[in-house]
Amino acid sequence: MSMNGYILVEQSLKLSGTVDLIGAKNAVLPIMAASILTQGKSTFYSVPDSSDVHEMITLLESLGAKIFFDKKENILIIDTVNINKSEVTQEVMDKMRASILVMGPLLARFRKTRVALPGGCLIGARPIDLHLKGFEKLGANITRDNNYFYASINQDKKDQQIVLEYPSVGATENLIMFSVLQKGTTNILNAALEPEVLDFIQVLQKMGAKIEFDIPATIKITGVDNLKPIEHKIIPDRLEAGTLLLAAAITGGEISLPNAIPSDMDLFLEKLKQMGHKIEIGFNNSNGIKLIATNNPKATDIKTCPYPGFPTDLQSPMMAALCLAQGESKAEETVFENRLMHVKELEKMGAQIKTKNSKAIVSGVDLLYGTQVIASDIRASAALVIAGLAAEGKTEVLGIHHWRRGYDKMENKLKKLGAKIKVVEV
């Protein structure tokens, strides 16, 4: 795959049809990391063929795992019997931020680990200090040597309680993986409870971990001696669902997502309704979302927050849709400090947006115009593609590697709905 290609999007009005969602990238990455806690073969279904998944495969292989990935059927088999290393090199860690998620399971399995600082998107500092402070609170010794962190456990862990300063998804997952094989109980307060975290916890429970929930936002882990390999189907990706719903909404179309889980997307769906779009839910047992777009979308305000608030990963795609809504919309980003980098690109297309710090005011315009734009992160790539579907003329979205990192050939799903879109490799 070329890193230098671009996505060519032409105006494509009234996208319509039915699409099946792939499994959530943000669930599968920590679940892959959790396989380190077992010895044997685990099989996962509905795994997206995205470059982040391939990077995690490379990381696990570098530790000694044997992996088979059927990209056509989206089946991933991970054999962890021969994992014999507890160190991850800078080169491997640089590829993506989610690589920090192996620190907890490696520490649990080997009682020591050495990992480099992780790489990833340019969407703010995303400090890993919550992970490190958490490990220390739970009894690990951590030392830093240039870009490497060395962690070890010298004594058996006692019962512990930890309060996260912020409900970080990654820190919650890492601390759970560290705790499941430790003696005693661990309570994590102010834990993240995103749908992807709950799917990940379900995987650990299937493996034999003892994990319970308490109110408010508390996860209680009772240590066990060992965990066993499992089979599991990854939950549908609510961020892919949101992106497809917005693509249909901005083009005045109609879309059905039979396997989408509406209860994972309550606030986002509420915002689409406030814009005037018609939403039907639960036509496929309790699942399924159908959107029938209005031709006169109205402005609405969004503010990103940890789940069940408005998802930060849908802020930029939503802003693309708000550019063509009547009136003035306010958008505030509270999760990542650099997550308004798509604004200047949308402005190149004719959007009217004023920003101050982490807030944006979007004044709806009648038309957007195709031009060349640059995606700075995964969700910005989706925002610019969505804008391009409604814009007059042609839009070239550079930064294709972000699109590939976050989505499993999303261009094919959009094509199926009638979009004029193609990936041009250079």
Nearest Cα residue to 56 out of 29, 35, 83: 29
Give the position of tokens 């690589």: 99
Q: Which residue has the tokens 């971990």?
A: 209
Q: How far is CA 21 from CA 123, 175, 274, in A?
A: 25, 29, 24
The single residue of 31, 121, 203, 272 carrying the catalytic annotation is 121
pLDDT tens-place string over residues 310-330: 999 999 999 999 999 999 999
Tell me the per-residue pLDDT of 351-378, one tens digit each, with 9 for 90 and over: 999 999 999 999 999 999 999 999 999 9
Q: Using pLDDT thresholds of 50, 70 and 90, give the confidence band for residue 1.
A: very low
pLDDT of residue 158: 75
Contact 97, 171 (CB under 8 A): no
In angstroms, the CA 343 to CA 360 distance is 9
Q: What is the pLDDT of residues 52-95, one digit of tens each?
A: 999 999 999 999 999 999 999 999 999 999 999 999 988 888 77
- CATH number (3.30.70.1400, 3.40.50.300, 3.65.10.10, 3.40.309.10) of 25-233 reads 3.65.10.10
Number of alpha carbons in the 13 Å side-chain half-sphere of residue 164: 29
Distance CA 378, CA 124 (A): 13
In the chain, what percentage of residues exceed pLDDT 90? 83
Q: In sequence order, what are the residues at sequence separation of 6 or more whose Cβ sits closer than 8 angstroms to the Cβ of residue 202? A: 232
Does residue 123 carry a pLDDT above 60? no
pLDDT in tens, 8-39: 999 999 999 999 999 999 999 999 999 999 99
Q: Contact, 208 vs 229, CB < 8 A?
A: no
Angle between helices 378-390 and 315-322 (to 10 degrees): 20
* Calculated CA dihedral for residues 121, 126, 130, 135, nearest 10 degrees: 20
Helix (H, G, I), strand (E, B) or coil at 346: helix
Span(s) in the chain for CATH 3.65.10.10: 6-21+236-424, 25-233
Strand 254-257 relative to strand 16-18: parallel, antiparallel, unpaired? parallel
Class of domain 6-21+236-424: alpha beta
Instruction: Please state the pTM of the whole predicted model.
Output: 0.95
Active site (annotated) includes residue 121 = yes
Q: Please say if the pLDDT value at position 121 is more than 60.
A: no
Mean pLDDT of 256-276: 98
Average pLDDT estimate for 198-202: 98
Q: How far apart are CA 146 and CA 400, in angstroms?
A: 32
